[in-house]
Chain A
């Protein structure tokens, strides 16, 4: 299985640790095997004539010494082998995170976050268990099983072959049922991922759920998901309940065969009674490794299933390596040129952007307006390549986007999203998100530009106030202004604001926009907004409808002739004046 390749580097790097662990494990097993033998010798000693108590001393000391060897060997392998499994867990989780953080937003759109979270915890657990408990059982099985088998063959090869007959069935069962168990485990993990996602979604959207009186519906939803999870687990128990006790049954069946055929051999005088008893005891010793075999299959299959799931993510999209061999182009001015760009979201029939051609000069503040769903946000997300623009459609500073290293391309932009997503941490952490080395002065300057100073002064710990998960202790408006400040702190060559101030009071928005337009005058920026009054100061306006740019011009130009801008601007004015007129006498 190709996903096993994921483990190879760990084994290679820590081979001494693993090897030493296996040695300790084998020593522990062998020492353990000698204890019954030492006891037998002590008992033989007791049948001798003329014995004194002092003659027992060597046996007693030997037993105690062996026990110490077993204990220290066990201490060692536990530290080494289980320690190794923890190393692998840490390493794989680091890898998973590193990959996830680089996978494109498009990929994330199509994959559930609950599932990824389950991979970071549950699947890592089962891989760790497969590596610790699974590997340990393999060695145990080999050592104990071989020892027992050796003793058995020495007593009677014929009896051994009768005893091994049912054991064949175990291998066959492992082959057929094992596959089904593997698939079922995968299914259970998937269903658990879905359940986690449903619960997470509900708990994070609880305010709205409750406000709409939907708690009962929410409970019905988890009930349904929970029942599926329950069903899958019971199916799993049925499979496991068929398989694992079957191993036990088969080993008992071989005892039954030995009782009859071995007993007959003994009656006929071909095998001594003592050997017959010994044979059955060894057979019992073989049972444990066989049971362990079941455990190994369980653990390893669970681990493999998890490894496969993780491998699917780790091998998704080659894109993160696309920067390889690319060099940041030299440029003077980050002019943006879009030509014949068509973009369709996965799962959508109609393109979000349809054959768009436009220019965004580096020294011009451009406003992008248009009705909902016309593709404005899509265009904003395409510029810093959050979605990959189709090859040949986007040029920045005269160089095609796909020839830019992603890092350098994105460094040109300060992006302010619609939702003002914040990270757990302090206000300062979030302000300095793009510039971890920023000083407090720099952060405060950005906060000032975004009209955030009064808010910061009002927080108990100022800049060091912790804002909680997703910044949910802030109001929507505060979050949006913080998001703006976060981008301004970068002092980016090109600023992108995607309907950034929608949750901010009109008066505050106007003030911020005025200041911002002055601050950015002569530099590039793309401003998406629905509040047209705040856009009068921009250099240029583009109108987007149904994925196409349908009109453009300076604000003055557009107001001077029939245009979407003029229509909607006046609609707002007219709507209010008309009402006003009707109300006044």
Chain B
């Protein structure tokens, strides 16, 4: 990562970045919706607790209220009294002038009105528990009549709140039995609701995980498919360990965003809105005080967010370097130990690791300031609510209950904000990953696929270069200069030249790993740029120095997913190239499991497998790229002969250092510094006594 990229300022374009995820998310939307609903249901279940407590107290534990004494002269009743009576939250005593208020009725009065009604003698200061007498329990109540704490009315018994605790056991059983069984039902209902909440929570976690995993899976596959379509020149500049980290770590990070957004952010925003609505309905003044800190909080979040993101990005980049350092060390362990570099490498790695540590400390500093600071804001708001609200109470403008409620809400108000702040970490990391992934997705160094791809001519095999100029990177030197040649169908050609003469570049262009800077390449008269790439690759058979083997059995590595091939075809091909000897020596033969990268095989053995692969393929054009370099002379002879039969009727292009192996080809192209300097068969070229002759002389072939 360049310095420039790290310092790129925070953009408002984050949403735009997110939009690019949308198509991937599309098939997951129904699942995501179900997950979201479950998150909400689980959240609702979790707010049931305060409400259940309130119900238990007001309905069953202390359903007490003042006694109302109605004096005649209805016209003189004050407005608050009428309001209560109209609400119907009352219990009848049987006497017309005596009523009792339910707890709910009191909440209709503020403290001032309540005081005025008490002063005027309309309602009692004392609270009463009221028991409505049923026909069935008159007899039982007879015995209890004696208790002095109980006042009897025609339809009800009333007990002063303070005397409730002093009831005898029998009496308590009769009077409170219904409350106890009500409480039992409530507790049971609450437990059931919580169980439902448990189920919602389980469902939400599993569903969101499925969404996250599917998202990251499709993201990973898309990204790889994109990478596979990029020009080789991109990979020349990039480090595979870093790219690997993009495809694995960054993708995971990003997919986690989906989970976090729904599970926390969504939740937090909803509860924040509910709290704001309640606060403004209680007291706009206090609500404004509380909310006035929101801009500062948001500013703080954005400010620290930006800083945190830079640090996060820095950390990721350093981690990628650590990753790469490990990869390199493991790959080159032989060399490190043979050259006794253990201590020095450990020291060098220690520096990288220490840099990562310092970046980590920076991150800690930022969070150590930011997270507590938001908490300080919450406390300042609390102090202001007490100060301002207290003054209002003293002035009689607000009730104590409202201020008490506000304290609760102010604390709740900052909780979602704080929660979001804590999640900032995940968001930062996800956005840093998103940005890197977007950068990667934006790389357009593509081998441009044709708009309307042509199907290759069958049977084909003619290759033509017309005035091709090529360089690997815009700043690099010209590797091929005005190169023109034609290889006829069925012709066996060879490319010869010193290192750097451009032989491998020709092969690269034939495979369309790169596009030439100018000039055109034709296959059977069709321009390469207009050919379907997959069909084009399929007709090339490559045997190169590097052999890609993956972790699977020998058979799987030869079959390469082509189910139509029988085991016999594959064994036959192995016999033809002489690979069956070593395969049969493996403990499990064709079913031997090759380790990652096929590391357990020697270079020559891998080469033989590659030859067998090419044979199975039966391609139209065979390319041998220094194929037999690591194979001993005896095996090379065998392979040469096997390939010679394969060459019959096919075009072949061979690159080899050892001229002996290419002497029987039809035509030899001699390259020097990217130009074609000689052309002809072995005899002609020897006769010409030019560059080829000198090369042959050196090898004792002329």
Please tell me if B240 contacts chain A, counting CB pairs below 8 Å.
Answer: yes
Q: A200-B241, A207-B232 are in contact. Are A101 and B342 (CB under 8 A)?
A: yes
Whether B327 contacts A241 by the Cβ 8 Å rule is no
Contacts of A486 in B (CB 8 A): 339
Give the residue name and chain of the A residue nearest to B344 (CB).
Answer: A436
B658→A531 contact, CB < 8 A: yes
Q: How far does the alpha carbon of A39 sit from the alpha carbon of B390 in the complex, in Å? A: 12
A211–B249 CB distance below 8 A: no
Name the distance in Å between A501's Cβ and chain B's nearest Cβ.
9
Do B329 and A217 touch (CB < 8 A)? Answer: no
- With A211-B513, A212-B537, A413-B338 known as contacts, the answer to whether A46 contacts B393 (CB < 8 A) is yes
Separation of A66 and B378 alpha carbons in the complex (Å)? 12
A407 an interface residue at 8 Å Cβ cutoff?
yes
Give residues 243-289 of A contacting B (CB, 8 Å): 244-246, 248-249, 252-253, 255-257, 259-260, 263-264, 266-269, 273, 276-277, 280, 284
Residues of A within 8 A of B228 (CB): 206, 209-210, 215, 218-219
How near does chain B come to A489, taking the closest CB pair, in angstroms? 10
B526 to chain A, nearest CB (A): 18
State whether A116 and B330 are in contact (beta carbons under 8 Å apart), knowing that A53-B394, A78-B364, A267-B60 are contacts in the complex: yes
Determine whether B603 belongs to the interface, using a CB cutoff of 8 Å to chain A: yes
Minimal Cβ-Cβ distance residue in B for A112: B596
Is A361 interfacial (CB 8 A cutoff)?
Answer: no
A540 → B minimal CB distance (Å): 19
Is the C-beta of A521 less than 8 angstroms from some C-beta in chain B?
A: no
Chain A contact residues (Cβ within 8 angstroms of B): what range?
A: 35 or more
Are B400 and A43 neighbours in the complex by a CB distance under 8 Å? yes
Roughly how many angstroms separate A112 CA and B550 CA in the complex, as a whole number? 13
Report the minimal beta-carbon distance from B549 to chain A, rounded to whole angstroms.
8
Residues of B within 8 A of A424 (CB): 239, 324, 328
Check if B188 is an interface residue, CB within 8 A of chain A. yes
Return A346 CB to nearest CB of chain B, in Å.
9
Establish whether residues A259 and B683, one from each chain, have CB atoms under 8 Å apart when the complex forms: no
> What is the CB-to-nearest-CB distance from A124 to chain B, in angstroms, rounded to a whole number?
9
Contact B53 A280, beta carbon cutoff 8 Å: yes
Whole-angstrom CA separation of A345 from B210 in the bound complex? 43
Q: Is B519 an interface residue (CB 8 A)?
A: no
B49 touches A252 (CB 8 A): yes
Asked whether, in the complex, the Cβ of A89 is within 8 Å of the Cβ of B632, the reply is no
By beta carbon, the residue of chain A nearest B225 is A219
Q: A263 vs B63: C-alpha distance in the bound complex, in angstroms? A: 12
Q: Is B333 an interface residue (CB 8 A)?
A: yes
> Which one of A102, A237, A347, A421 has the highest number of Cβ atoms from chain B below 10 Å of its Cβ?
A237
Residues of B near A410 (CB, < 8 A) are 337-340
CB-CB under 8 A from A530, the residues of chain B are: 630-633, 636
Taken together as a complex, chains A and B put the C-alpha atoms of A571 and B635 apart, in Å, by 12
Indicate whether A506 reaches chain B with its CB closer than 8 angstroms.
yes
Question: In the complex, what's the smallest C-beta–C-beta distance from A381 to chain B, in angstroms?
Answer: 7
Residue A439 is within 8 A (CB to CB) of chain B in the complex: no
**A259 and B187 form a contact (CB under 8 A):** yes
B166 within 8 A of A: yes
In this complex, what residue of B is CB-closest to A196?
A: B248
Q: Which residues of B contact A74 (CB under 8 A)?
A: 368, 371-372, 375
| B18-26, B136-144, B348-356, B645-653 - interface stretch | B348-356
**Cβ-based interface call for B71 (8 A):** no
User: Contact at B194–A249, with CB atoms within 8 Å?
Assistant: yes
Q: Are the CB atoms of B176 and A78 closer together than 8 Å?
A: no
* A518 in the interface (beta carbon within 8 A): no
Task: Check A234–B213 contact: CB distance below 8 A.
Answer: yes
Contacts A56-B387, A269-B167, A584-B683: A506 and B353 contacting too (C-beta < 8 A)?
A: no
If A218-B228, A256-B190 touch, does A510 touch B699 (CB 8 Å cutoff)? yes
Contact A348 B561, beta carbon cutoff 8 Å: no
A244 CA / B172 CA spacing, docked (Å)? 42
* Contact (Cβ within 8 A) B373 A117: no
Q: CB within 8 Å of A: which of B578-595?
A: 582, 585-587, 595
Taking CB atoms, residues of chain A closer than 8 Å to B394 are 46, 51-53
Roughly how many angstroms separate A192 CA and B220 CA in the complex, as a whole number?
A: 13
Report A-chain residues with C-beta under 8 Å of the C-beta of B387.
53, 56, 60
Asked whether B368 lies within 8 Å of A198 as measured between CB atoms, the reply is: no
- Chain B residues closer than 8 Å to A330, beta-carbon distance: none
Q: Are B560 and A214 in contact (CB under 8 A)?
A: yes
Give per-residue flags for A471-485: 1 if the beta carbon is below 8 A from chain B beta carbons, else 0: 011011110000000
Cβ-defined partner of A93 (8 Å) among B213, B220, B353, B551: B353
Does A411 lie within 8 Å of B340, measured CB to CB?
A: yes
A433-B57 CB under 8 A given contacts A70-B375, A71-B373:
no
Q: Is A462 an interface residue (CB 8 A)?
A: no
Cβ–Cβ contact A507 & B53, under 8 A:
no
Report the bound CA distance from A377 to B606 in whole Å. 15
Contact check, B201 vs A241: say whether CB atoms are below 8 A apart.
yes
Query: Contact: A82 with B323, CB < 8 Å?
Result: no
Q: Is there a chain B Cβ closer than 8 Å to A9's Cβ?
A: no
**One of A136-144, A368-376, A392-400 at the interface:** A368-376
Interface: B629 (CB within 8 A): yes
Taking the nearest CB of chain A, how far is it from the CB of B417, in angstroms? 16
- Tell me the chain A residues, 41-67 only, with Cβ under 8 Å from chain B: 42-43, 46-47, 51-53, 56, 59-60, 63-64, 66-67
Q: A551 at the A/B interface (Cβ < 8 Å)?
A: no
Q: Interface size on B (CB < 8 Å)?
A: 178
Cα–Cα, bound, A507→B585 (Å): 36
Q: Answer yes or no: B511 CB below 8 A from chain A CBs.
A: yes
**Nearest CB on A from B476, distance (A):** 9
Cβ-closest chain A residue relative to B166: A269
Q: Quick check: is A532 within 8 A (CB to CB) of the other chain?
A: yes
For B551, B663, B699, the residue with the greatest tally of chain A CB atoms inside 10 Å of its CB is: B699
Q: Could you say which of B204, B236, B350 contacts A94, with CB atoms under 8 Å apart?
A: B350
Known contacts A87-B357, A203-B240, A208-B544, A78 near B561 by CB under 8 Å: no
B5 at the interface (CB under 8 A from A): no
Residues in A whose Cβ lies below 8 Å from that of B660: 572, 575-576
Please, which residue of chain A has its CB at the minimum distance from the CB of B205? A241
Chain B residue, CB-CB nearest to A232: B213
> Which among A86, A113, A120, A264 is the interface contact of B331 at CB below 8 angstroms?
A113
Given the complex, which residues of A lie within 8 Å of B282, measured CB to CB? none
Given contacts A109-B595, A259-B186, contact A506 B695 (CB under 8 A): yes
Q: Are B600 and A504 in contact (CB under 8 A)?
A: no
Complex: chain A residue closest to B633, CB-CB: A568
Q: Are A89 and B360 CB-contacts (below 8 A) given A78-B371, A109-B600? A: yes
For residue B247, CB closer than 8 A to chain A, the reply is yes
Q: Is A446 an interface residue (CB 8 A)?
A: no
Give every chain A residue within 8 A of B148 (Cβ-Cβ). none
Q: Name which of A174-182, A220-228, A295-303 contacts chain B.
A: A220-228
**B residues near A568, Cβ cutoff 8 Å:** 632-634
Which residues of the partner chain A approach B407 to less than 8 Å between Cβ atoms? 39, 43
**Chain A CB within 8 A of B451 CB:** no
CB distance A241 to B371 under 8 Å?
A: no
B545 touches A (CB below 8 Å): yes
- A105, A217, A264: the one within 8 Å of B180 (CB): A264
Residue B151 at the A interface, CB < 8 A?
no
**Residue pair A46, B403 in contact (C-beta under 8 Å):** yes
B194-A260 in contact (CB<8A): no
| CB closest residue in chain B, given A474 | B499
**Residue among B499, B587, B682, B695 with the highest chain A CB neighbour number at 10 A:** B499
B183 contacts the other chain (CB 8 A): yes
- Write the chain A residue with the least CB distance to B62: A273
User: Does B629 lie within 8 Å of A42, measured CB to CB?
Assistant: no
Query: Which 6 A-B pairs have CB atoms at the shortest separation, nearest pair first?
Result: A269-B165, A67-B379, A213-B537, A237-B209, A372-B604, A241-B205
- Besides the known contacts A252-B190, A256-B191, A259-B190, 8 further A-B residue pairs in the complex with CB atoms under 8 A apart: A94-B346, A207-B513, A211-B544, A219-B221, A219-B225, A223-B221, A476-B545, A507-B695
Show 21 residue pairs from A and B whose CB-CB distance is below 8 angstroms, ordered by the A residue: A46-B403, A56-B387, A74-B368, A79-B364, A94-B349, A117-B327, A197-B596, A205-B597, A208-B542, A215-B225, A223-B217, A230-B217, A237-B208, A242-B202, A273-B61, A384-B337, A411-B340, A433-B339, A503-B629, A506-B658, A533-B700
